[in-house]
């Protein structure tokens, strides 16, 4: 299993993914438990509206368009964006912050994956050099993810990414960057552990 470990996912509010899940999935007791444990007003409101929609089958025939602006949906859950290039930015000094409650949940996920005898590959996907280099604790992040005793690869150190040609913003690869990422991931996957 390849598990992306972008540091902001370990400290940003986890309400947005829950909002997405509640609004786009059929809600049940598991959804309700998630909403109650999050205890967030936006999530309560979204759950209420989504549950009403579920009950009355309001979204039953709702089909997302295949093309939206510059994005094209590819069967299987992928979105391809029209090629675009990032503007070069200068970033202030930053520090990656980690919420250790999120790390505990992450460790539970790793344990579940290990119990299924699956190979785990943790990947810090490339971001712009200017953004990456603005963080003063990248080595601490590497140490944290290496501490889980599974394969970990900081691709910011392993792939030569051009900030303007390989990204469409500071932390999303465009097609050019994805090609570089795919080549490196194939190499990593084929490596014996």
Q: In this predicted model, what pLDDT tens digit does every residue of 29-82 receive, in sequence order?
A: 999 999 998 899 999 999 999 999 888 888 776 666 677 777 777 776 667 777
- Given pLDDT bands bounded at 50, 70 and 90, which one contains residue 174? confident
- Write the CA distances from 44 to 36, 133, 135, integer angstroms: 8, 39, 35
Asked whether residue 2 carries a pLDDT value surpassing 80, the answer given is: yes
Q: Would you state the pLDDT for residue 70?
A: 75
Asked whether residue 118 carries a pLDDT value surpassing 80, the answer given is: yes
* CA pair distance 34, 20, nearest whole angstrom: 12
- Secondary structure of residue 93 in the 3-state scheme: coil
Beta-carbon contacts of 168 under 8 Å, excluding residues fewer than 6 positions away, are: 81, 83, 84, 85, 86, 174
Burial (CB count within 10 angstroms: exposed 0-12, middle 13-18, buried 19+), residue 118 = exposed
Average pLDDT estimate for 6-10: 92
- Given pLDDT bands bounded at 50, 70 and 90, which one contains residue 86? low
More confident of the two residues 159 and 86? 159
Among 97, 104, 80, CA closest to 179: 80
Please list the helix, strand and coil fractions of the chain in percent, rounded to the nearest 5, in that order. 45, 15, 40
* CA pair distance 39, 140, nearest whole angstrom: 32
What is the dihedral sign for C-alpha 50, 56, 58, 59? positive
- Write the CA distances from 98 to 9, 43, 142, integer angstroms: 9, 23, 13
pTM score, two decimals?
0.76
């Amino acid at each position: 299993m390849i598990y992306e470990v972008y540091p902001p996912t370990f400290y940003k509010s986890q309400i947005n993914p829950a909002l997405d899940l509640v609004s786009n999935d059929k809600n049940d007791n598991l959804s309700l438990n998630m909403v109650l444990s999050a205890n967030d007003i936006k999530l309560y409101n979204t759950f209420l509206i989504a549950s009403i929609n579920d009950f009355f089958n309001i979204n039953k025939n709702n089909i997302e368009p295949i093309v939206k602006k510059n994005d094209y949906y590819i069967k299987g859950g992928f979105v391809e964006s029209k090629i675009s290039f990032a503007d070069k930015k200068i970033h202030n000094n930053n520090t990656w912050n980690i919420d250790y409650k999120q790390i505990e949940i992450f460790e539970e996920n790793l344990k579940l994956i290990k119990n299924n005898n699956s190979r785990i590959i943790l990947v810090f996907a490339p971001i712009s050099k200017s953004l990456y280099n603005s963080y003063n604790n990248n080595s601490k992040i590497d140490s944290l993810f290496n501490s889980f005793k599974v394969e970990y690869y900081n691709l910011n150190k392993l792939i030569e990414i051009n900030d303007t040609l390989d990204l469409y913003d500071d932390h999303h690869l465009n097609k050019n960057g994805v090609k570089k990422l795919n080549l490196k991931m194939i190499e990593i996957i084929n490596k014996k552990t």
